[in-house]
Amino acid sequence: MKIEDKLAKLGLELPSLEDLYRSNVSGAHYISHFPVQNLLYLSGTTPRKNGQTYLPGVVGKDLTLEQGREAARYAAITTLAAVYPARRAARYDPVEVIRGAH
């Protein structure tokens, strides 16, 4: 099953990277993804919904646990928006591991 089909089944769709770039509130231009050999480095993956910042804050301080889960869901969708075109261009198929850096 294609990623678009899985997201459609959940009632979701990938945001456009162009829209994400245009709606960046800082006005900064950044690179959402950078491939190096078989790795894909990502940046700017915050929760976004309908082109807007969605549920900003800290869980337990500004957000409930349920709101934090919802924010994480939309941050993951933003991440997929960067991964999807990069994997198609570089033939990263399937994506095997997603790791966070702290």
Domains (range + CATH), the chain: 3-90 (3.30.1330.40)
At 65-95, the pLDDT tens digits run 999 999 998 888 888 887 877 666 555 555 5
72/14 Cα distance (integer angstroms): 15
13/51 Cα distance (integer angstroms): 12
pTM of the model as a whole: 0.69
CA atoms within 13 A on the CB side of 59: 8
Mean pLDDT for the chain overall: 76
44/18 Cα distance (integer angstroms): 13
Peptide bond into 94 cis (omega under 30): yes
Rounded to a whole number of angstroms, the CA Rg of the chain reads 14
